[in-house]
């Protein structure tokens, strides 16, 4: 899919955070709002880092089943 999926999921996460902001219970309102929004933000950041690292790895995979004289340096 590419990088476009990151923005699509960001919009969905923003909608979930906005819904949790308005649908939080009235008792301990600040605690519930803060917990819900921070949870969604942290989950999104973790997912985004994992997804983008799989899309664009820093180190390319190397074959381990080659003989010594055929290995690349």
SS3 label, residue 59 = coil
Q: Which one, of 36, 16, 14, 39, lies nearest residue 25 by Cα?
A: 36
Spell out the per-residue pLDDT of the chain, length 73, in tens.
Answer: 677 888 999 999 999 999 999 998 989 999 999 999 999 999 999 999 999 888 888 887 777 776 767 556 5
From its phi and psi, is residue 2 left (phi > 0), alpha (psi between -120 and 50) or beta?
A: left
- Placement of tokens 């009235």 in the chain: 26
Q: What is the pLDDT of residue 11?
A: 96
**Total-model pTM:** 0.72
């Amino acid at each position: 899919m590419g990088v476009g999926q990151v923005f699509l999921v960001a919009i969905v996460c923003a909608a979930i955070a906005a819904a949790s902001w308005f649908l939080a219970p009235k008792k301990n309102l600040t605690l519930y709002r803060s917990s819900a929004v921070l949870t969604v933000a942290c989950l999104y950041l973790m997912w985004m880092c994992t997804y983008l690292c799989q899309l664009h790895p820093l180190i390319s995979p190397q074959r381990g089943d080659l003989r010594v004289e055929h290995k690349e340096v």
